[in-house]
Amino acid sequence: MLKTADDIRQLNERIQSAGTFVDRIKTEVGKVIVGQPYMIDRLMIGLLSNGHVLLEGVPGLAKTLAIKSLSQATHAKFSRIQFTPDLLPADVIGTMIYNQQRNEFMVRKGPIFANFILADEINRAPAKVQSALLEAMQEKQVTIGETSYKLDEPFLVLATQNPLEQEGTYPLPEAQQDRFMLKVIVDYPKKNEEQLIIRQNTQSGPQAEVRAVAALQEIAQAKDLVRQVYMDEKIENYILDIVFATREPDKYNLPKLKALIAYGGSPRASINLALASKANAFLNKRGYVIPEDVRSISHDVLRHRIGLTYEAEAENINVEVIIDDVLRAINVP
């Protein structure tokens, strides 16, 4: 729907007012998390656009702490599931148990019934458990016995995986990775940031605690506003060009990529790139999307949706290089 300049100005004002809770959350989470603004921004984008987030990084980078702190700052119900090879689907979604006193079966709901689900080391669980979680992510409901139960809103799955240890792991299939809106690579903090981390964790005195500074109602209103953020048709075509260039690189003057890409981004990539761009505009207090919103989020949306050929692996070309080449080749509107 085409919006007038006056409509966009009014939307800007509403976003300026409704988006104040974002700064409050960042300040509060910043009390315990040092040096990971990129990760916090991506978690906020997932929260605002109703998209699940896959975090990948070596142990000790505060992935779990960031997710837990975000749930505390939003007064949301938090549930952590430690994925292990012996986990069963019933351990995640729940099961029917027999009550001897009442002489009947009763439902025992699993940890999936929460607002924020931390799926810790998701690649350690077998395919059946991964599928149970991913079905809940997609359908926003689970079935126990013969009854289906709606999951609470907001419902956000934040999964972590360790890229180092591959023994005893079950890598997520491509179709299941596609269910995650973003795949975020978490990197080491800078030297001065790590110095602050040392001080925080070695000095005496009370540890900083994260307080609830945003209500779930505020988040629900913000999610509605994110959907209303204006996206011009030129930006839509820019997103489509980026995604289609991963499928048909030779049509976008990228013939060398044809032999390197096994498959490109799915239609979910286009949808999620548009939604994440709108959420990024909201975080920057804007009621309209600019090309920089799209470019800044492209790696996180696309890196788990592009398959590489053996030829790319033989030449040590990774998916980040492919996305960089695509972004350089597509004309910015």
* 167: confidence class by pLDDT, cuts 50, 70, 90: low
User: Is residue 142 within 8 Å of 149, Cβ to Cβ?
Assistant: yes
Could you give the percent of the chain with pLDDT greater than 70?
97
- Across the range 7-23, mean pLDDT stands at 85
- Across the range 301-329, mean pLDDT stands at 90
Listed range (10-19, 40-49, 159-168, 268-277) with the worst mean pLDDT: 159-168
User: Is residue 279 within 8 Å of 45, Cβ to Cβ?
Assistant: yes
pLDDT at 29: 87
Could you give the percent of the chain with pLDDT greater than 90?
28
pLDDT at 172: 77
Strand partners, 120: 82
pLDDT at 290: 93
- Average pLDDT over the chain, rounded to an integer: 86
Structure tokens that stand for 203 in this block = 């000095």
Nearest to 39 by CA among 75, 15, 69: 69
User: pLDDT tens digit string along 252-299?
Assistant: 988 888 889 989 998 999 999 999 999 999 999 998 999 999 999 999
- Across the range 198-223, mean pLDDT stands at 82
- Which residues neighbour 161 within 8 Å (Cβ) at sequence distance 6 or greater? 54, 55, 56, 121, 122, 123, 172
- pLDDT of 94 > 90? The answer is no
- Across the range 192-202, mean pLDDT stands at 83
Greater confidence (17 vs 239) lies with 239
* 70: confidence class by pLDDT, cuts 50, 70, 90: confident
Q: Give the whole-angstrom CA distance, residue 238 versus residue 246.
A: 13
User: pLDDT tens digit string along 109-155?
Assistant: 888 998 888 888 888 888 888 888 887 888 888 888 788 888 888 88
pLDDT at 316: 87
84 class by beta-carbon count within 10 Å (0-12 exposed, 13-18 middle, 19+ buried): middle
Ordered alpha helix ranges (H), the chain: 5-18, 20-29, 37-48, 63-73, 89-93, 127-139, 174-177, 191-202, 216-228, 233-247, 267-283, 291-302, 310-314, 319-329
- pLDDT of 239 > 90? The answer is yes
Amino acid identity for residue 34 in this structure: V
pTM for the whole structure: 0.88
pLDDT at 1: 52
Answer whether the bond into residue 163 is a cis peptide, omega within 30°. no
- Ordered structural domains, the chain, with CATH: 20-86+114-202+210-216 (3.40.50.300), 229-329 (1.10.8.80)
Burial 212-228 (b: 16+ CB within 10 A, else e): ebbebebbeebbebbee
User: Is residue 48 within 8 Å of 279, Cβ to Cβ?
Assistant: yes
